[in-house]
């Protein structure tokens, strides 16, 4: 199976986040001052969003910009995401939950994630 492109991953993450928020493509397009055609093309992976557009889309669907990038790079090389289950990386659940907790808890969660990642790299 061919590796999923960055545009396709972002598009799938955007669609999932939009649908989870209960927005139509038209409603999202209006929120970010883009055409419905542009939103459709972004979701299908036919276009790559600019950084400004990515941030605006994330704000509109209520997720961190990182949630729209979840899984990007997972199919490349032997980086920290190599071999990871792509279905876990593309559902945005972790990023959405992290965005709902208070800043102190988020800092603890980040420290825990870094420690887990560090331990995982040492075991390789």
Domains and CATH numbers, the chain: 6-123 (1.10.260.40)
Give pLDDT tens digits along the chain (124 positions).
Answer: 455 788 998 999 999 889 988 999 999 999 999 999 999 999 999 999 999 999 999 999 988 888 888 877 655 444 444 444 444 444 456 666 666 777 777 777 777 877 877 765 565 5
pTM given for the model: 0.61
DSSP-assigned letters across all residues of 26-51: HHHHHHTT--HHHHHHHHTTSSPPPH
- Beta carbons of 63 and 53 less than 8 angstroms apart: no
């Amino acid at each position: 199976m061919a590796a999923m492109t960055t545009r396709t991953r972002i598009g799938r993450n955007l669609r999932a986040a939009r649908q989870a928020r209960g927005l139509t493509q038209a409603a999202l397009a209006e929120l970010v001052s883009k055409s419905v055609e542009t939103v459709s093309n972004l979701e299908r992976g036919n276009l790559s969003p600019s950084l400004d557009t990515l941030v605006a889309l994330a704000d509109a669907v209520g997720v961190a910009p990182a949630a729209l990038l979840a899984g990007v790079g997972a199919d490349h090389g032997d980086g920290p995401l190599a071999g990871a289950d792509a279905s876990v990386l593309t559902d945005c659940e972790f990023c959405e939950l992290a965005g709902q907790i208070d800043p102190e808890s988020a800092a603890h969660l980040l420290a825990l994630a870094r420690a887990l990642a560090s331990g995982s790299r040492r075991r390789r």
